[in-house]
């Protein structure tokens, strides 16, 4: 990880975290960084998306997606914090995206079964989880179907709702579900009737 002084545009340091690979992910379709109310930065480390020592993708061993933290005012990883998502939540641990809503709740998307490629990219086998980043706990978001979420896990908030991109050909659904931050209700936000998978969108005033 490069630490850059943006006032001078100079490289300040290069940080390495042993045992964490693909810091910040390596696809631009997801958001791998979030800043919480304490101004702490949380970052994903994707690990090996294919799994196994020989990269065969036949099992979840070796995937090892993690969440790391940089405390407010610091420029290096917090040595006391490293969350191995697989061990805590019992998933094969391919982690897609991080998001913190306006009420402080955090979310991610995790693979739910061991898959080889290309099914890893195309099958509806990912599920959204709500996380407590500080205490390293989480539970699945109820009411949302599985999604083919490897490249479509970018979440956003609109009108006090967290919006989740869902692609599930088995259910004939391609669009967004929501979770209302006030009522905690979940349901369909809208469906796409043409085009490919949803990535994200921007609300214009």
75-97 pLDDT tens trace? 999 999 999 886 677 766 678 88
Does the structure show a pLDDT above 50 at 40?
Answer: yes
The more confident residue out of 177 and 154 is: 177
Q: What is the pLDDT of residue 67?
A: 93
Query: In 112-201, where do the E strands start and end?
Result: 126-132, 137-140, 156-158, 161-168, 173-180, 186-191
Token code pair at residue 94: 């391919």
Closest residue by Cα to residue 47 from 8, 79, 91: 91
Q: What is the pLDDT of residue 200?
A: 75
**Is residue 110 included in any domain, yes or no?**
yes
**Is residue 87 included in any domain, yes or no?**
yes
Q: What is the pLDDT of residues 106-117, one digit of tens each?
A: 999 888 877 776
Highest averaged pLDDT of the listed ranges 23-27, 160-164, 168-172: 160-164
Does the structure show a pLDDT above 90 at 153?
Answer: no
- DSSP symbols for 89-124: H-S---EEEEEE-TTS-EEEEEE-S---TTHHHHSS
The more confident residue out of 191 and 26 is: 191
**Is residue 5 included in any domain, yes or no?**
no
Q: How many domains does the chain have?
A: 1
CA distances from 146 to 79, 81, 99, 124 (A): 34, 29, 18, 5
C-alpha span between 86 and 147 (Å, rounded): 18
Q: With bands split at pLDDT 50, 70 and 90, how would you rate the model's confidence at 60? A: very low
**Is residue 178 included in any domain, yes or no?**
yes
Mean pLDDT of 176-192: 95
Q: What is the mean pLDDT of the chain?
A: 85
Does the structure show a pLDDT above 70 at 178?
Answer: yes
Q: What is the pLDDT of residue 119?
A: 76
**Is residue 9 included in any domain, yes or no?**
no
The more confident residue out of 39 and 153 is: 39
Q: With bands split at pLDDT 50, 70 and 90, how would you rate the model's confidence at 204? A: confident
**Is residue 39 included in any domain, yes or no?**
yes
Token code pair at residue 129: 């989880």
The boundaries of the domain holding residue 62 are: 20-191
């Amino acid at each position: 990880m490069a630490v850059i002084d943006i006032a001078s545009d100079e490289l300040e340091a290069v940080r390495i975290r042993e045992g964490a690979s693909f810091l910040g992910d390596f696809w631009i379709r997801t958001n791998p960084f979030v800043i919480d109310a304490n101004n702490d930065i949380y970052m994903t480390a994707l690990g090996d998306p294919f799994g196994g020592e020989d990269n065969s993708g036949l099992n979840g061993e070796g995937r090892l997606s993690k969440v790391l933290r940089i405390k407010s005012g610091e420029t290096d990883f917090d040595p006391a914090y490293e969350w191995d998502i697989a061990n805590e939540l019992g998933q094969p641990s391919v982690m897609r995206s991080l998001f913190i809503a306006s009420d402080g709740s955090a979310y991610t998307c995790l693979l739910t079964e061991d898959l080889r490629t290309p099914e890893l990219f195309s099958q509806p086998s990912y599920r959204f989880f709500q996380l407590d980043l500080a205490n390293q706990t989480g539970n699945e978001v109820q009411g949302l179907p599985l999604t083919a979420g490897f490249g479509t896990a970018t979440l956003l908030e609109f009108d006090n709702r967290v919006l989740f991109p869902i692609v599930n050909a088995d259910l004939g659904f391609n669009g967004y579900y929501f979770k209302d931050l006030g009522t905690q209700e979940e349901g369909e936000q809208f469906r796409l009737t043409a085009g490919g998978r949803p990535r994200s969108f921007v609300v214009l005033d």
